Chains A and B, each alone.
Chain A
């Protein structure tokens, strides 16, 4: 499972560590937090880590707009939240995807972060069960069939197979054929004897 990647950009050690501590405590899922102390290194750091969400003090001198940050850091998907510490003009805050105040409670911050990162539909899919079609495809994968073979067998396009595989990985958080084999056996989709000859051929 890919952890949620957050970046916290704030030069003050006390404030930055405070935000990071709150974030670490409230995480219900694995989070990876990148701390950016030096505003001049923000773009470089974002480019290197490509976080899902950036939390930044909007009053930082010389800070580019969220729009330009996304562009310069090559992170078109990144959400930007303003870390508000003082009264700020609405026009400044409107450029951000969300506003986190230093007076927010942990629950408020948690809810805001969940809302900001929820549009990432990969994470939303995790609770959905596999569709019958997806179960069929899991069986094919653990039997060691290639995408082309699966497509021919089920009379669908390879492109569709790839989409199904992506959705399966997102729902189960299992990315390898060996992992899917365990899943398939637990859920009685296959027996080892059926896949024995092909086992290991896929990876």
Chain B
């Protein structure tokens, strides 16, 4: 079924996933499994113990834009949990998978393969640092806010100021491979490149969720709003 605008709790989960394949990635990070039959988004979320409003805010962001995400209706606890799981997903699954494929594709390239893999490893360690900082400073701060405390040594403004685009360097690697990698076995390399394109988009949208939904929701919390 074709639809215009944002999705609601009464829409069928299968319609959402069929129309927007990127939702698959969001689902797995929320811990929602396939096999939802004719159930609605609301029902599927309830069964998986996921806050439906938060799930909808995340999936609607790329579909309907910034205005679709109302920070007042997301659960900060659920979103924190989602972001934490996303970090694990990128660091423990997605990036290692790309590295393995990349190593395969550039194997036998001598110096060049070494340099490319080092670039990738350097990038991954930057992502580690970026996400570890959120895990070590931002999330504990948010948990404290949720418990009704107001730590003074950190604020969401500080986070917002320092929050850089983590996908930027991946974009650079992609450009280098496209422009300068000497022709050879192309199937493998093009396959990895495609994965990098997807991962770049996925990281960018992860950042978007943080900047456009999470940060406003935390700001609201700092001002003493509910949830």
Contact = CB atoms under 8 A, between A and B. Distances in A.
A203 interface: yes
B118 A181 contact: yes
Given A1-B175, A175-B172, 20 more contacts: A1-B171, A35-B65, A174-B172, A174-B175, A174-B176, A176-B119, A176-B122, A176-B172, A178-B118, A179-B173, A181-B115, A182-B112, A182-B176, A185-B115, A186-B180, A186-B182, A191-B111, A192-B111, A192-B114, A203-B122
B181 interface: yes
A175 B173 CA distance: 10
A71 to B, nearest CB: 23
B169 A37 contact: no
Contacts of A173: 172, 175
Interface of A: 1, 35, 37, 173-176, 178-179, 181-183, 185-187, 191-192, 199-200, 203
Given A37-B67, A192-B115, A182 B171 contact: no
B172 A186 contact: no
A185 B115 CA distance: 8
A191 B114 CA distance: 11
Main secondary structure of the interface of B (DSSP, over half): helix
Contacts, number: 51
A130 B65 CA distance: 41
Nearest to B122: A178
Nearest to A175: B172
Contact of B169 (A35, A176, A183): A176
Nearest to A192: B111
B113 to A, nearest CB: 10
B116 interface: yes
Interface of B: 65, 67, 110-112, 114-116, 118-119, 122-123, 169, 171-173, 175-176, 180-182
Contacts of A200: 118
Contacts of A191: 111
| Pairs A-B, 3 closest by C-beta atoms | A192-B111, A178-B119, A186-B180
Contacts of A182: 112, 115-116, 119, 176, 180
A183 B180 contact: yes
12 contacts: A1-B172, A173-B172, A176-B172, A179-B119, A181-B119, A182-B176, A182-B180, A183-B176, A183-B180, A186-B112, A191-B111, A200-B118
B219 to A, nearest CB: 14
Contacts of A175: 172
A15 to B, nearest CB: 15
Given A176-B172, A181-B119, A191-B111, A186 B181 contact: yes
Contacts of A203: 122
Contacts of B169: 176
A41 to B, nearest CB: 12
Nearest to B172: A179
Contacts of B175: 1, 173-174
Nearest to B112: A185
A185 to B, nearest CB: 5
A73 B63 CA distance: 29
B212 to A, nearest CB: 12
Contacts of A178: 115, 118-119, 122-123
B49 to A, nearest CB: 35
